[in-house]
Structure 1
Amino acid sequence: MHNDSSGEVKFLLVDDLEENLFALEALLKREGLALYRARSGPEALELLLVHDFALALLDVQMDGMDGFELAELMRGTERTRRVPIIFLTAVATDERRHFRGYETGAVDFLFKPLNPQMLTSKAGVFFDLARQRQELARQRDDLRAGAAKLARALERIEAHADNSPLAVVGFDQDFRIVEWSLSAERLFGWTRADMLGQRAAEAGWARGEAAAAFAELEAELHAGGRTVRNIRLSRQDGTMLDTEWYSSVLQGPGGRLDSAHAQILDVTERRRAEATQRLLLGELNHRVKNNLATVQAIANQTLRSSPDLDAFAQDFSGRLQALAKSHSLLSDATWSGAMLHDLLDHQLRLGTIDDSQLEVSGPEVRLPPQTALHLGLVLHELTTNANKYGALSSRSGVLNVHWQVADQGLEVRWIERGGPAVSQPSRAGFGTMLIEESLRAEGGEACCEFGGEGVTWTLRLPLDDDAGMGAVRTAVDRAAPMSLRMHDI
């Protein structure tokens, strides 16, 4: 190259006479041209090591190292061997000296006294050539910089595509796969080598209805524009995925499809979550209806069995609180069920009970939601009666609650001792009916014994044959709806 970062073109002038150098400078001086002077061969070599010259004008006759010797040294060095040389001489030369000059790399000979027009014309050619080389070099550097920038941008795009949670897949005009990102490889299991060149509808991921979905997608893309479509595809291991496609196209001449690009999102878990949400909403709707029916039944029957509004308000409020506490217990466990011990604790603490009056024992038993709601109401009724009329109405009374799992069922024994004397009533009240109907709704039963020392209730609920340790009717959807079948409601 014969330029530098300043953009100037450089000429080297070599002559052992100062006046000749001044004359050359005066003739060649022009804008954009830098002239460097040397009065000997060694001085010229020093300049050649530092600068890139577009032309060297060498005087043949110099003391010490002449122009031919300097030219030979220049041709022996890679840095300077391509610098054009014009020899200047005041002596007529024979063919042998001409040959020697051209052999050392000379492009021309000029004779002194110099013809100014000839000198400037020939030097101008090399000046223009240098300018053209500079422009070509600039364009080359710009192209290289642009190519490097594009390469880096492409690398970033590919890296983003590979790291994206969305699989990136490209297609040609025949809907053959021409781009397969690492994210696509991670999602579907197939490598680039497996998928490149295959038609989308014929590749391994297209099973079942996918081929028809691809045909519809291809038709949409050929029509132009962007599209969003859900397609169920297969992984290499056979696992089926629900995918959401975000596709765009590039069109060629005449609006024909040139290429298509798709970003594919795995929405399998989202679809499962949506299905679960729909199921839960349906279950919630079912529960709300059942609970409202239960509340309505409790309200109607409580009203009919209450002697006055104050008694109704007290009894109805207590039963609603019992239902609410069971709901709260289940909500804390995300409606997965409730432990029987926790349910007892919630309902027995509705009143103020001295710990010395209470004995509770039994294994760990998890109740499903509906069973917990029914049994919660039962325990509330038993606790309310014990506080009003039974063992817990007296300081000397004792309540023993014990349960066990036996004979494929849960048995709860509610035993009151030490309270006021009790006798069997002439007719069953609403509380008794509520206890019996609540357990009957779960496929169980309730038995009551009236003795001189106090009342004893035996509550029985069935267990699933495949239930785990202490689990009662573990599947929510297998539990009976919470409804009270009271004939006088």
Structure 2
Amino acid sequence: MTARPSHEIGLEYRSEMPDKDLVLKSLSGSAVTIFFQDVEGVFRWFVNPQSLWATGDLTGQKEDVVLGSEALKKLQEAKRTVLASGERGAVELAVTPPNDTGDPRPFYIKLTIEPAFDAKRDVEGFVCSSIDISEQLKREQTLKNLLREVAHRSKNMLAMVLSLSGQTARVASTKDEFVRRFTGRLQSLAKSQDVITERDWHGSAFSDLVKRQVIDVVPFQDGHIEVTGEDPELGPNGTLHVGLALHELVTNALVHGSLTRPGGRVEINCEDLGDYGFRLTWTESPRVISSAPKAKSFGRTMLERIVPSAVNGQGTLDITDDAVIYSLDIGRTEIV
């Protein structure tokens, strides 16, 4: 038997048309459903039925069985447009199947519509390919919601930065003091924001916030810092403001307070107050004469007024002969 040249084999292969049924079967397992409707809107056949088209055997039934009035109107308008132009068209439909299908969830589908003609060039019906875009639209909506949330929180953050800047400048006696204090507070916000971001914008665990704002800042820890009590989940607002309070307290302890002494220590306790919320208690001992913010300082104002107001609670700073004690009640609204 004489071998045929390879180029002749290739020509013969390319001259053969692929089998239509084979092509349609190849759609099995894909995200595409193909169906044919006659001019009366009756479904004649389906290939790879899924999504809306898998809610039941629709062959032989009219389109109004699964399409509500609004979706049906849009589909019919799209068909008229296709017939007028003679070109393929597309339409997106939102469809809630009838209650008897047992699947009440809405479907969002995109249909590509192609007119089918007979030998006389009369319209026989429409070949439609369908893909379920429900998940795509859900992702897009989630992204839009996230972007709106980011924009909202960014505005709040900028407002906080402007407030911190103005208040810090108002009480700073020198430029260097302003830079030092404002930079520290800004870094505190950044640390809290990092915790929020790591938790997918839901907030933070109280323990994570203490670690970032206090433990990671104190160069010596053994025997100096003790954290006890509950570990609630704070929302984003609570995380930012409680973080600022912790920053003010640890900065003061390191610069003027007990952590300047070899035996100085700080106990941070979080107590569950039931329906009200939680109470943060900072106990710093021994007391150093200048170990608490002055009565008119912005730091004290932040601890006793700004932060408590922001977390729907109350704050008190007590200075005894032996210790500096700060108590902050955090409202239940700030707990996730």
* Partner Cα separation in structure 2 for residue 413 and residue 289 of structure 1: 30
Equivalent in the alignment of 2:179: 313
Between the aligned partners of 1:253 and 1:243, the Cα distance in structure 2 is 31
C-alpha distance after superposition, 1:320-339 (max 9, x if no partner): 11111111111111112211
**Structure 2 partner of 1:289:** 155
For 1:311 and 1:424, the matched residues in 2 are separated by 17
Quote the residue 1:457 is aligned against: 326
Structure 2: which amino acid aligns with 1:188?
Answer: W
Counterparts of 1:48-447 in structure 2 under 5 Å?
153-181=19-47, 183-185=48-50, 187-191=52-56, 194-200=57-63, 202-203=64-65, 205-223=66-84, 224-235=86-97, 236=101, 237-252=103-118, 256-348=122-214, 349-408=216-275, 409-421=277-289, 427-435=295-303, 436-447=305-316
Corresponding letter in the other structure for 1:390:
G
User: What is the distance in 2 between the residues matched to 1:457 and 1:170?
Assistant: 74
Displacement of 1:347 after TM fit?
0.6
**Worse overlay, 424-433 or 157-166:** 424-433
Aligned pairs for 1:19-38 (under 5 A) are none
Structure 1 CA distance for aligned equivalents of residues 291 and 83 of structure 2: 88
Q: Name which of structure 1's ranges 438-447 and 414-423 shifts more when overlaid on structure 2.
A: 414-423
Deviation at 1:296, TM superposition (A): 1.0
Q: Secondary structure at the match of 1:342?
A: helix
8 Å Cα contact 1:423/1:452 also seen in 2: no
TM-fit CA distance, 1:379? 0.7
Superposed CA deviations along residues 430-450 of structure 1, whole A, max 9, x for unmatched, are 112222212211211111111
TM-score by length of 1: 0.60
Give the deviation of 1:373 after TM superposition.
0.9
| C-alpha spacing 1:425/1:215, structure 2 compared with 1 (3 Å) | closer
How far apart, CA to CA, are the structure 1 residues paired with 2:196 and 2:226?
24
Structure possessing the higher relative contact order (Cα contacts under 8 Å, 6 or more residues apart):
2
The answer to whether the 8 A contact 2:75-2:91 is kept is no
Deviation of the 1:365 alpha carbon? 1.2
Return the letter of the residue paired with 2:335. Answer: R
| Aligned partner of residue 404 in structure 1, secondary structure | strand
Q: Indicate if the aligned counterparts of 1:415 and 1:455 stay in contact, CA closer than 8 A.
A: yes
How many Å separate the matches in 1 of 2:291 and 2:118?
Answer: 97
SS where residue 26 of structure 2 aligns?
helix
Please report the RMSD computed on the Cα atoms of aligned residues, expressed in angstroms: 2.5
Unaligned runs of 5+ in 2: 2-12
Cα 1:437–1:425, aligned 2, differ >3 Å: closer, same or farther?
closer
Cα distance change, pair 274–163 in 1 and its aligned pair in 2 (3 A): same
- When the two structures are aligned, how many residues end up with a matched partner? 316
The 2-side partners of 1:425 and 1:473 are apart by 28
Are the counterparts in 1 of residues 252 and 292 from structure 2 also a CA contact under 8 Å? no
2:10 is matched with none
CA contact (8 A) 1:421 1:453 kept: no
- Amino acid in the other structure paired with 2:298: F
1:438–1:211 distance in 2 versus 1, CA, 3 Å:
same
**227-236 or 376-385, larger mean C-alpha shift:** 227-236
User: 1 CA distance for matches of 2:52 and 2:62?
Assistant: 18
Q: Which blocks of at least 5 consecutive residues in structure 1 are unaligned? A: 6-145, 465-471, 475-489
8 Å contact 1:245–1:262 — kept in the other structure?
yes
Identical aligned residues as a percent: 24
Residue 400 of structure 1 contacts residue 415 of structure 1 at CA under 8 Å; is this kept in 2?
yes
| Contact kept? 1:423, 1:451, Cα under 8 Å | no
Which one has the largest radius of gyration?
Answer: 1
Q: Within 2, Cα distance between the matches of 1:425 and 1:166?
A: 68
